[in-house]
Structure 1
Amino acid sequence: MRDFLIVGGGVAGASAGYFLAESGGVTLLEMERAPGYHSTGRSAALFSEYFGNQAVRALTAASRPFLTTPPPGFTDAPLLTPRGVLTLCPAGAVDAAERFAEMLADGLSAPTPVREIDPDEVRRRCPIVRSGWYSRAMLKPAAMDIDVDALHQGFLRGIRARGGQVITSARVRGLFRRGGLWRAVTDAGEFAAPTVVNAAGAWADEVAGLAGVRPVGLRPLRRTAFLADLPGGVDATRWPMVTDVADTFYFKPESGRLLISPADATPMPPGDVRPDDLDVAIAVERLHKATTLEIRSVRHAWAGLRSAVADDTPVVGETPDAPGFVWLAALSGYGVQTAPAVGQIAAAAARRTPADAAYAHLSPERPLLDLRTWNDMERL
């Protein structure tokens, strides 16, 4: 028996396990043969304090110190490297112009404010952007690439180094509470602990159902991405990520090529999702309109699931009517960049330490769309 069971070995579950292993025995249960197979391993890998609602931005800012200066021995490589995001306003679109103005005003309050840039600077930063396609442009200078694998593996190594277990091929088939312990029946055997953390990603509502806990209404959403070659001799290493204010596409340099996405969010049941050829074609068409790049072939395409609830805010905390059942779910597309913060919050909830009260606004019982105040987030 251990002190804590964690269901799900993606970056969120691994983060919670890392922090919980400081104070107790941890068993992390991963249903696949390797942790991070689904959403974590298919992330666009961007750290952006301009991204998401007020809650998400606060969680991201709270994660920055860990990502900037991880603990000694956590990783041999930097977790964050400069990238920036260039956001374009399509010419002639009234709704887009209004959204651009809102985004620009909102971004002025970021730790590193956004700034509007002129066409000359757009060309210098990303020469393939088609000059007549957009009317205005802004730069989000502090957005950075995240080394997702280094972050994820650092958490997993930390669990093991602190005496924890990472059990793979351990899909949970049954979960019930008996004798003050949560008991998980899995493909790898039965495990028990007083507290269980539900970090099962797109499967989190299913895990709750096994435990007899009310679901939070997760919506798994498919996001498609693919790699395409650049023209010969073009070095895109220093280009920013490029997107539009309506969030209909994005692209960014990746391993000498471009990673491209139509920014789709198609509802899907939990599973090993695959890219749809139509989504790939839509992304290619949108990129042809917005840039001078001619995409003649797709190198590799994939899809992942972004699981969200109605207010697009993470759900973290203990369920009041199920003692010892802690949620760590609904991280949407923000899971990697918020992992250090939500992992610590989930660990505090699992230990029932005073931090619980400070972050009650993320709990599964919170009123949806109620963001309340986030001053306490600065204390993380």
Structure 2
Amino acid sequence: MAQAHYDFAVIGAGMAGASIAAELAPHASVLVLEAEDAPGYHSTGRSAAFWEECYGGPGVVPLTLASGNYLREHGFLSPRGALYVGKQEDRQKLDEFFETFAGTGVTIERLGRERLASCVPQMGEEWCDAIWEPACADIDVAGLHQHYLKAMKRAGATLACRARVAMLNRSPDRWELLTESGELYSAARVVNAAGAWADPIANLAGARPLGIHPKRRTVVQLRVSPEVRSDQPLVLDINGEFYFKPDSGRLWLSPHDEIPSDPCDASPEEIDVALVVDRFQKATGWNVEAVERRWAGLRSFAPDRLPVYGPDPEIPGFLWFAGQGGFGIQTAPAAARLGAQIILGRTADAMTQAIDPDTYSPARFHRAKAAADV
């Protein structure tokens, strides 16, 4: 016997699931099913997130910019600034990066060695060219996630943890969702916000997987000398070999890796930790006194590296809200608002009016396959 029937069952209670549920719940009955003991255990809880206008590429910029005011007004951003740095041989790559984002609405500026060194004195002399992004800010990830969890609950959504979905069955007017613990739920529509597990959930629903693949990202916390200044910017190698930023007197460092992985409880590999510490020591004048913490999370990308929002074109009542890569935190407000508008058939508002929803539709992959089959 199924439990209470809901308008929507959202699978996943990380940032994606919590935010879309918060936007849907004022207009419909919503159930959120979370596989773990508590929401945000995987990617959301392991993010070293920053709001960075260029991150994710030009196709993500509209979502990032549209989210900025919401994040600032609710107190989730702290000013940081970002520097993309390169050597003499990287000048063309920096030029191309600058040209790519010209006209997208982001604010960037070219810097030479003198200004680069004034921002980050410990960068080696060979790092002589940079792009400055002044609007970059740290994100209070935990605060933002709790904001959406509280909002969805206030609007009447039901959260069930330790509720890993084991079976999805579609009847003419509803879905039945069976969890591994034997709980049975019923909903008119299912929202796939399962992150690294998005394609496996699609398989359970009989939908065509879209090729959303998890990739592992490693982060370490270093104690360095001299101590890192709290006002130093986020620093990103233009070649994608590292990034680092200050955090509470320590330094968070990542090899900017994207290592293919199965959906899992990700953990760092020692080779990745050693590799990035070596890169960091060669690039800067800091002395690494200790690697105090290390962790890894999964970032899940669709084949074109853009997120996927909207109804599956083949399976009625199955909706996608997935493939948000490493930019799912910084785009959460606009993504959730847009996703709810698509799902509910509502018109755009001030936050989403400059965003083209077709850009993120799952139908784009079906159209591409159909064209390839011709």
TM-score, normalised on structure 1? 0.90
Contact 1:108 1:115 in 2 (8 A): no
Q: Which runs of 4 or more aligned residues in structure 1 lie more than 6 Å from their structure 2 counterparts after TM superposition? A: none
Provide the C-alpha distance between the structure 1 equivalents of 2:215 and 2:228, rounded to a whole number of angstroms: 33
Larger deviation, residues 342-351 vs 307-316: 342-351
CA contact (8 A) 1:197 1:350 kept: no
Deviations 1:31-72 (A, max 9, x none): 0111111111111211111222222111111111221224xx
Q: Which residue of 2 aligns with 1:37?
A: 41
- After superposition, give the CA deviation of every residue in 1:287-319 in whole Å (9 maximum; x if it has no partner): 111100122321010001111022100011101
Structure 1 residues 237-316: aligned runs within 5 Å = 237-316=230-309
Find 1:184's aligned residue among 159, 177, 185.
177
Aligned to 2:222: 228
List alignment gaps of at least 5 residues for structure 1. 71-77, 371-380
Whether the 8 Å CA contact 1:310–1:368 is kept in 2: the answer is: no
- From 7, 10, 24, give the equivalent of 1:6: 10
Give the aligned partner of residue 123 of structure 1. 117
The answer on 1:134 being equivalent to 2:132 is no
Mapped to 2, the partners of 1:4 and 1:88 lie a distance apart of 45
Matched-pair contact (CA < 8 Å) for 2:29–2:156: yes
Letter in 2 for 1:359: P
Which residue number corresponds to residue 372 of structure 2? none
> Corresponding residue for 1:219?
213
Output one character per residue of 1:66-117: Cα deviation in whole Å (capped at 9) or x when no partner.
21224xxxxxxx10111111111123x3xx3221111123344354521122
Q: How many angstroms does 1:159 deviate by?
A: 0.8
Residue 114 of structure 1 pairs with residue 111 of structure 2: no
1:366 to 341, 364, 372: 364
The DSSP-based 3-state class of the residue aligned with 1:220 is strand
How many residues are paired up? Answer: 358
Distance 1:114 1:291 in 2: 23
What does residue 24 of structure 1 align with? 28
Q: Does 1:197 align with 2:201?
A: no
Correspondence list, 1:326-341, <5 A: 326-341=319-334
Distance 1:25 1:18 in 2: 11
2:371 corresponds to which residue? Answer: none
CA offset at residue 179 of structure 1? 4.1
In 2, the alpha carbon distance for the partners of 1:259 and 1:362 equals: 31
Aligned-partner Cα distance in 1 for 2:52–2:39: 24
Partner of 1:175: 168
Does the CA contact (< 8 Å) of 1:112 and 1:141 recur in 2? no
Looking at structure 2, the residues matched to 349 and 270 of structure 1 have their Cα atoms a distance apart, in angstroms, of 27
Aligned equivalents of 2:356 and 2:110: distance in 1? Answer: 36
Q: Distance in 2 between matches of 1:111 and 1:312?
A: 20
Match of 1:55 in 2: 59
> Could you tell me how far 1:353 is from its partner in structure 2?
3.2
Q: Distance in 2 between matches of 1:142 and 1:176?
A: 46
What is the root-mean-square deviation in Å for CA atoms of aligned residues?
Answer: 1.9
